[in-house]
Amino acid sequence: MKTRSFSAYVALLALALPVVSFATAGPVRAADKPAADTAQPLPFHSIEGPGGGAITPTAYLSNPTPGESGAGKPAFAISYVNLDRKSLTALTASETLYGRLELSVGADQLELGTLPANIKAATTVDINRSSVWLLNLNARYLAVKEAGQVPAVTVGAHYKYNGDIKHIDEALGGALTSIGYKDRQGVDFTVTASKLFPKVGDHPLITTLGLRESKAANLGFLGFGKSYKTSVEGSLIYLPTSNIVVAYEVRQKTSPYGRIPGLIGGENTWHAVDVSYIVNPHSTIVAGYGRFGTLADKDANNAYWFQLKTNL
């Protein structure tokens, strides 16, 4: 199956099915609420797999079980992101064990859009790639449970593997290596804190702040650099009704690479706004808009996305 055909199929499927939230969801209808000790809002999948918003995690794990026993309900999501001249499709899944350990996976395909043609025009080199795949394997542990004024805190490790970027660098005669590329794989480390304020204008507000240590260039879609850099990320999530969620997210980007004019630019802080509708305890609809700045050769400042997520 050709790469472009696969992306088109995933995009159509994401648009045809009830689309599910990138954003963190809130309480469901009263009849569907879980026990008091698990009544906090539950997150959905980021594009990399962990529970959270579109581009950032929250400290709330996906579908924990009451009383920290056994395994929660597994969750699956399919996502489509339009990045102006590029596009992203993501398949994600998660499972939370004993209410404390969230394991998730994300298989992300980035269509490179104009980049291959621009590389060929500038260098005469055909990179023989119209897309790159990024595999994300994530483990997050709830180190501190939310209680009173104490926020929930998770620590995470996120293994990332890009099977295509080394071939692109080799085709370019080591051009990426010359500006800082070192490896096709890397591990991000995160610390994330979230706090629920149940009555802000009579409705719940969730605030999240996180720190990330990473060597990744554009989440790893352009590979990984030589040394770790620290970045800040977070979100504000508000529930004006029991089944509508609005969120603002921000994710600082720290570019590990130099520049190749017209082909590889610097990275910019990502901003995202999500609006979600919780259909039932198992599915949610979201529409999102983002301003992501430079993504390789072009800006992605009019990004929009959809996601379908379901809990078994």
Distance, in Å, from the CA atom of 93 to the CA atom of 312, rounded to the nearest integer, reads 11
Strands (DSSP E) contained in the chain are 44-45, 51-52, 75-83, 86-97, 101-111, 131-144, 152-162, 185-200, 203-216, 224-241, 244-251, 270-280, 283-291, 294-295, 298-299, 303-311
**Cα atoms found within 13 Å of the Cα of residue 152, Cβ hemisphere only:** 25
Distance of CA 153 to the CA centre of its chain: 18
C-beta separation of 112 from 296 below 8 A: yes
pLDDT of residue 3: 42
Taking all residues of the chain, what is their mean pLDDT, rounded to a whole number? 86
Question: Residue 273 pLDDT more than 80?
Answer: yes
pLDDT at res. 310: 84
Q: What is the mean pLDDT of residues 221-238?
A: 97
Q: Give 16's pLDDT tier (boundaries 50, 70, 90).
A: very low
Q: Residue 26 — very low, low, confident or very high, per pLDDT cuts 50/70/90? A: very low
> Mean per-residue pLDDT for 135-163?
97
Q: How far is it, in rounded angstroms, from Cα 21 to Cα 29?
A: 17
- First-last CA distance in the chain: 29
Name which residue leads in pLDDT, 147 or 6: 147
Residues 6+ apart with CB under 8 A from 11: 80, 87, 89
The confidence score (pLDDT) of residue 161 equals 98
- Cα(210)–Cα(86) distance, integer angstroms: 28
At 80-111, the pLDDT tens digits run: 999 999 999 999 999 999 999 999 999 999 99
- The more confident residue out of 113 and 35 is 113
pLDDT reported for residue 281? 79
Residues 6+ apart with CB under 8 A from 27: 33, 39, 41, 204, 239, 242
User: How confident is the model at residue 180, as a pLDDT?
Assistant: 97
pLDDT of res. 271: 98
Instruction: Give pLDDT tens digits for 262-272.
Output: 999 999 999 99
